[in-house]
Amino acid sequence: FSTRWCGPCKILGPRLEKMVAKQEGKVLMAKVDIDDHTDLAIEYEVSAVPTVLAMKNGDVVDKFVGIKDEDQLEAFLKKLIGA
């Protein structure tokens, strides 16, 4: 979850995209702009951006709020896919 006016989102977005691409299709990424999809932000109790939710079978299994460096993102994704 992010938005166009969020500075940290502009940093995290490309960094996260790069790390997801390295997972070779094991992880799918969807971006949700909270200004365009307020209903989803409310449904998933997003109170700050950037917020990253990890979902499996429609359930939130992990999440973080704020910027992470590449090592932290890699650890987050590896934990998600069980690598």
Of the residues 2, 3, 5, 9, only one is catalytic, namely 9
Q: Mark whether 9 is an active-site residue.
A: yes
Q: Mark whether 55 is an active-site residue.
A: no
Of the residues 2, 3, 4, 6, only one is catalytic, namely 6
Q: What share of the chain is helix, strand, coil (3-state, %, to 5)?
A: 40, 20, 40
Name which of 65, 60, 21, 67 is nearest 44 in CA terms: 60
Return the active site residues.
6, 9
